[in-house]
Amino acid sequence: MNEESFVRKLTALFPQSPDVAVGPGDDCAVLDLGTPDLILAAVDQVISEVHYTKDTSPEAIAGKLLKRNISDIASMGGVPTHVLLSLAVNPMDENWLLAFHQGIANLAAQYGISVIGGDMAKLFTPGQALSLTILGKVERGKLCLRANAGEGDLLYATGCFGSSFRSGHHLTFTPRLKEARFLAGDFTCAMQDVSDGLLKDAVRMAEASGLALQLDPDSVPRREGASEDSALTEGEDYELLFAVPQRLRSRLESAWPFPDTPLSCIGRFVSGTPGAVSGLKSNQLKTGYDHFR
């Protein structure tokens, strides 16, 4: 069993009501409530000794939890609006909890997000399991889905990849919200963020779009000290992957207004077995992070 196959089994269990425009399977669910904007909803969590080490400050943990959820909203072309928190911790340390919530409050204020509720419980064993549900909105013409890549579209990526955990990037990253808003609707309608590994997430986009992918690993920008395999498979990068029609390539590259955010063309979507990848070297692992392994 792997994470992808298990999620497909779960998805089949849950019929959706008519107001669910996009259910499980993308970075966010999409609700169409008849309002001018579509509603985005997602949930993610961080676990002690999995997503951060025991010496990580509560403020940094709070930042990672909220920012990785903001990244999901960004990848759909939207803006974040509200969050709910659910915490299970041991010990129930008041100073730690206050510092954590202050970290959430500071970052939420920075992004104009309202924290509208939550829940706390005590674990039976030492550790922390911290979950955040995020809501957002997106104009109908800006919605981006994994399934919207077209044959011949170019695969672009923002930023650099690899060594995220070792470099501390997984805590200090900035969600690509401004970049995504610039792209959505004008240059792409197919986008997702990279959390489980560039290769794995690119395959998800190709498979959802019913296409194969020609990848150029040599074009993937790496963080200092990152190997090619690290850049392709380690994850925790929180960068954007997005499909751009060939006709828009020159306009995108000349209009890109973010000099501090690298923009790289790293592949092309082509006809073929959905999710199949060519261009990899024989010793490269076709994998990324999987919670079942």
Residue 87 lies in a domain: yes
Could you say which DSSP state residue 10 is in? H
CATH number of residue 76's parent domain: 3.30.1330.10
Q: Rounded CA gap, 58 and 95, in Å?
A: 10
> Whole-prediction pTM value?
0.94
Of 141, 168, 187, which residue sits at a domain end?
A: 141
Residues 90 and 217 in one domain: no
Residues 102 and 172 in one domain: no
CB of 111 closer than 8 Å to CB of 178: no
Residues 86 and 14 in one domain: yes
* Amino acid identity, position 49: E
Digitized pLDDT (tens) for each residue of the chain, 293 residues in all: 677 778 778 888 889 999 999 999 899 999 999 999 999 999 999 999 999 999 999 999 999 999 999 999 999 999 999 999 999 999 999 999 999 999 999 999 999 999 999 999 999 999 999 999 999 999 999 999 999 999 999 999 999 999 999 999 999 999 999 999 999 999 999 999 999 999 999 999 999 999 999 999 999 999 999 999 999 999 999 999 999 999 999 999 999 999 999 999 999 999 999 999 999 985 555 566 655 56
Query: Coil, strand or helix: which one is 248?
Result: helix
Tell me the residue range of the domain where 168 lies: 144-278
Residues 94 and 67 in one domain: yes
Of 107, 122, 141, which residue sits at a domain end?
A: 141
What is the enclosing helix (H) or strand (E) of 46?
A: strand 37-47
Q: At what angle do helices 58-75 and 94-111 cross, to 10 degrees?
A: 30
Residue 291 lies in a domain: no
Residues 272 and 166 in one domain: yes
Q: Rounded CA gap, 227 and 208, in Å?
A: 28
